[in-house]
Amino acid sequence: MVKCHLSTIMGEKRLKIADVARETSINRGTITRMYHEEATRVDLEVIEKLCRYFKIEVGDLYELTDDSDI
């Protein structure tokens, strides 16, 4: 399973979804789905924008976790 840490990252910086959407030009719905870990597909461009915006690596945003269902 792939876990998205966007909500944690945004919480640490006290940012709202609307703030990130406005400042990155990423669709608000995309950020909302990522924030709530409901996104099934994310464009690499979106990942790149978020990593550059937060000054983080991809591994800080996403994590591959063990999943016994595989």
Query: pTM for the complete prediction?
Result: 0.89
Q: Domain spans of the chain?
A: 2-58
The tens digit of pLDDT for each residue in 1-54 reads: 899 999 999 999 999 999 999 999 999 999 999 999 999 999 999 999 999 999
What is residue 25's predicted lDDT score, i.e. its pLDDT?
A: 98
Q: What's the Cα-to-Cα distance from 48 to each of 3, 30, 66, 67, rounded to whole Å?
A: 17, 14, 25, 26
Q: How far is CA 68 from the centre of its chain?
A: 24
Query: 2-58 falls under which CATH superfamily?
Result: lambda repressor-like DNA-binding domains (1.10.260.40)
Amino acid at 23: E
